[in-house]
Amino acid sequence: DVKVTQSSRYLVKRTGEKVFLECVQDMDHENMFWYRQDPGLGLRLIYFSYDVKMKEKGDIPEGYSVSREKKERFSLILESASTNQTSMYLCASGLAAANTGELFFGEGSRLTVL
């Protein structure tokens, strides 16, 4: 079974703090994604990566950055957390060769910024 593991299930941070959210997948998938999920807004894509050291902006990249130094690991960074970044963050991975774009999600990281 594909396993996507997110480092923290729940975090509470203060405004202005730097936040790292880590994601590791064990199926050698080329593609990795970070989404945020908010009530009424659905899943919104923040950043994605097709390969090591490659990153592409999604629909809402402002206030976020990412790092992909190894194929299995994709990190989301909030340089200076703000209250409007309180959300559920979901990491996902998928095969580049899959012609249907199926994704495997982690369990999510619920971030609260005070």
Q: Which of residues 85 and 94 has its CB atom nearest to other proteins in the complex?
A: 94
Query: What does the CA dihedral 55, 58, 63, 65 come to, rounded to 10 degrees?
Result: -10
Q: Decide: residue 92, CB within 10 A, 0-12 exposed, 13-18 middle, 19+ buried.
A: buried
Contact with other proteins (CB under 8 A) among 12, 27, 52, 98 = 98
Site for other proteins in 21-50 (CB under 8 A): 40-43, 45, 48
Q: Is 101 in the site for other proteins (CB under 8 A)?
A: yes
Contact region for other proteins (CB under 8 A) — 11-19, 65-73, 75-83, 93-101? 93-101
Q: Phi, psi (5° rounding) for residue 107? A: -80, -10
* Nearest distance from C-beta of residue 102 to other proteins, angstroms: 6
Residue in 41, 36, 57, 58 with CA at minimum distance from that of residue 113 = 36
Q: Is 4 in the site for other proteins (CB under 8 A)?
A: yes
Number of shown-chain residues binding other proteins (CB under 8 A) = 22
Side-chain-side CA neighbours of 60 within 13 Å: the count stands at 14
* Nearest distance from C-beta of residue 55 to other proteins, angstroms: 14
